[in-house]
Amino acid sequence: MTENNNKETMRFDLTEEELEEVHQQILKERENLFKVFGKWSLLDVKVEDPGLARYIDLTPRIVLHTHGRLSQERFGKAKINIVERLINNMMRTGKYTGKKTKAYKVVKLAFEIIEKRTKQNPVQVLVKALENAAPREAVTNLKMGGVMIPRAVDVSPLRRLDMALRHIAIGAIQKSHKNKKRIWECLAEEIIYAANNNPQSFAIAKKDEIERIAKSSR
C-alpha cells in the first residue's frame, strides 16, 4: 500500500510544464504510430483533383493491410488506403504475386528514394502522380446496326484511379526487366516522372495515348 501511495503522490506532484511535456510526447508517439511506414504523415497530404478526392483514401492506419475485408463490398476499394492500393498493384508478376511483404518493402524503399530526390512527402508525390496519370476520357465500342463503332466516353473517377495505379505499377515492373536498376528504384523513378507530368513515365505516355485515341473517336 505504501509503494502505491508513493507512486500516486509522485504522479500528482508533476508540474504543469512536465504534464504538458508528457502530453506532447504521448501525442507524438501516437502520430508516429499512424504514419505511413512509421515515417510519413498523411495529415498534410492534399488532393487537388476534385474528382479523385473522394476515392483517394488518406485515412491513417497502423498497418497497411486490410486482409481483403473490403473486396466484396461495393466500392470497397475507395476505403483502402492509397499506399496499400499501390502495394497491391505491385503484386502483378510471378515474383511478387501473393507476396505482399516483398511488395511492401519495395514501396517503402521507393518512398525513401522519392523523399531523398524531391525533398517532399512521398505520399504527396504519389497523389500528384495519380492525378496526372489518370485518364479523363477513353474509348468503348457501341454496336449499331450489327457494326461495332468506337465512341469516346468519360471515365468514372474510380476507374481513372484504377488505371493510374495499374499503369504506374506496370511501368515500374517493365523498366526493371533486363535493367541494372532494382525495382524500387524503377518505381520511384516512375512516380517522380508521373508527378512531374514527364512523358518518360509509362503511365503518362499511356494516358496520353488513351486520350488521343478517344479524341479521334468523338
CA 85 – CA 91 distance, rounded (Å): 10
Short-list 135, 139, 198, 187, CA closest to 164: 135
pLDDT in tens, the chain (218 residues): 444 444 444 455 667 776 667 656 655 555 566 788 888 888 889 999 999 999 999 888 878 888 788 878 888 888 889 999 999 999 877 677 888 889 999 999 999 999 999 999 999 999 999 999 999 999 888 888 788 888 888 999 999 999 999 999 999 988 888 788 899 999 999 999 999 999 999 999 999 999 998 988 87
Extended strands (E) in the chain: 137-144, 147-154
Cross-strand pairs, 89: none
What's the pLDDT at 1?
Answer: 45
Give the span between the Cα atoms of 43 and 199, in whole angstroms. Answer: 30
pLDDT at 3: 47
CA proximity to 207, closest of 146, 145, 133, 140 = 133
Look at residue 162 in the predicted model and tell me its pLDDT: 93
Structural domains of the chain, ranges and CATH numbers in brackets:
23-216 (1.10.455.10)
Please give the single-letter amino acid code of residue 65. Answer: H
- Kind plus residue range of the DSSP H or E element containing 216: helix 202-216
Cα→Cα distances 50→46, 127, 157, Å: 11, 12, 10
Place of cell 506532447: 24
Alpha helices in the chain (DSSP H): 2-12, 16-33, 82-89, 100-118, 122-133, 157-176, 183-195, 202-216
